[in-house]
Amino acid sequence: MGSYNIGKDVVCEWIRGHFDPEDEILDVGACDGKWRRLLDEYRNMDAVEVFRPYAEKLTGYRKVYVEDVCCMKIGWYDLIIFGDVVEHMNVDDAQGVIEYAWHRCRDMIIAVPWRYVQGPVDGNPWQEHIQDDLTPEIFAERYPGLEVIFATEDYAYFHKGEAVSG
C-alpha cells in the first residue's frame, strides 16, 4: 500500500519552490517511501513508519524511525509531510500530533482523501481509516489554520498557511 498519486506532481513543485535540497524533511507515515522517491534531490529526509514490515523496506532515508508518531518526540524540521496519515488517527490524536509538530517545523504538508472508507491492508491495522468522514468542511473545522495547496473532489493537500521561504 502506498499513498495516492493525485496531485503529487503539483505538490512536489510547490515543495521545490519553497524548500532547498539541503533542508531537513520528515516523512510521517512513509509507507512505501513514495515521497523519498519523488523528492530524490532532498537528501536530508527522515521517515517515521509505525508498521515494522513497511519500515524495514524503506531505502534512501537518512534515518527511519519505527514508532507511532503520537508518542514520538520530534526535533526541528524545515518541512514535515503527513502524507495520508491524519485519516488513520482518531481526531484527538491527529489534532495533538499536528499541534505538537506545528511548532517543530517551518511548514508542514497534510494530505487527506475525502470520505474514503478503508480497513486494514496487508496485515497492517494502522491502514484503517478512522476518520473516513472527512470532507473539506469537516477537515477545516477539525484542523483550522491550514491553507490548500491542491485539491480535487476526492483529495487535498494543505500546509500551515504561514509564510515559508526557501
pLDDT in tens, 130-160: 577 889 999 999 999 999 999 999 999 999 9
Q: Which fold has domain 8-159?
A: Rossmann fold (3.40.50)
Query: Model pTM?
Result: 0.91
pLDDT in tens, 84-121: 889 878 999 999 999 999 999 999 999 998 765 555 67
Cα distance between residue 56 and residue 102, in whole Å:
28
Please report, rounded to a whole number, the percentage of residues in the chain having pLDDT higher than 70. Answer: 87
